[in-house]
Structure 1
Amino acid sequence: MQDKVAPLIFNGIQKTRTIQNLNDIRQVFISAGVTPEEFDNSWNSFIVKSLTAQQRKLAADVQLNSVPAVLVNGKYMVKNDGVEASSVEGFIKEFGLTVKHLLNQK
């Protein structure tokens, strides 16, 4: 499912800017073959609520102000607007190289 949904979400956020809210995300999953009931049950599950709470706390703790945001080694924040984003593959490659470089910094 991730292989189907990830490019759709990437394009909806980065390129077409058509993903603005939860219902937009829900529609992406439905278009990828997930039933509305499956999405709603998963979204409202204990595990998703727990993971969401953990991520919100982490974002507040490190004062994240944009999404997606990645903090490397607790001190380097990857600037997503500096990563090439003309394609999913290009973004993934550049993002990975940036994170790898930051992991090697002292």
Structure 2
Amino acid sequence: MPSDVDFKFLPAVFGRGWLAHAKAFYVADLLGMEDKIRADLFNAIHVERRNLNSEDALARFFADYGVNEDDFRKQYDSFAVNSRLSQADAKIRAYGARGVPGIIVNGKYLVSAESANGNENIFKVVDFLIEKERQK
């Protein structure tokens, strides 16, 4: 992304099965390792098809990255994680997102595979909208 663009990940919880992964995202963030673990966690879930749908499984996954299981568990059900989940859910609902992937540009535009006519076009549309916002 260009230097004047601030890109932030926001985990969506569109079903009960998504909750554990969203919590893991915020635990990683609170432990200062979100950038280190995000891609590996995504690949473990979506490419390797590992069953990481429980607190126990996620605690073991984080342990592979040097996180003490007790430290992971303290964060997993913490007020901080639950607050961030609530805030993310409110934003996602406000944006009208109904699936992933989805990218919000400048709090105004929701770009999804459907609106961009396919996953391969999402970033083309995002780039166009970024440029449009720069011109304002």
Instruction: Flag whether TM exceeds 0.5 (same fold).
Output: yes
Question: 1:19: how far off?
Answer: 4.9
Question: 1:40: how far off?
Answer: 1.1
Q: Structure 1 residues 2, 75: CA separation in 2 closer, same or farther (over 3 Å shift)?
A: closer
- SS of the aligned residue for 2:132 comes to coil
Q: RMSD value over aligned CA atoms?
A: 3.1
Q: 2:59 aligns with which of 26, 29, 32?
A: 26
1:69/1:78 contact within 8 Å kept: yes
- SS of the aligned residue for 1:32 comes to coil
* Amino acid of the structure 2 residue aligned with 1:16: E
Question: 1:45: how far off?
Answer: 2.2
RCO higher in structure (CA 8 A, sep ≥6): 2
- SS of the aligned residue for 1:76 comes to strand
Name the CA distance, whole Å, in 1 between partners of 2:36 and 2:104: 26
Name the CA distance, whole Å, in 2 between partners of 1:34 and 1:57: 30
Q: Does 1:38 align with 2:71?
A: yes
Question: 1:52: how far off?
Answer: 0.7
Q: Structure 1 residues 52, 68: CA separation in 2 closer, same or farther (over 3 Å shift)?
A: farther
Q: 1:9 aligns with which of 15, 28, 41?
A: 41
TM-score (norm 2): 0.53
Q: Percent identity?
A: 26
More helix by share: 1
Q: Structure 1 residues 104, 22: CA separation in 2 closer, same or farther (over 3 Å shift)?
A: farther
Aligned residues: 96
2:103/2:111 contact within 8 Å kept: yes
Judge which range, 19-28 or 53-62, deviates more. 19-28
* Amino acid of the structure 1 residue aligned with 2:41: I
Q: Does 1:102 align with 2:124?
A: no
Q: Which runs of 5+ in 2 are unaligned?
A: 1-32
- SS of the aligned residue for 1:105 comes to helix
Q: Which runs of 5+ in 1 are unaligned?
A: 84-93
- Name the structure 1 match of 2:119: 82
2:97/2:110 contact within 8 Å kept: no
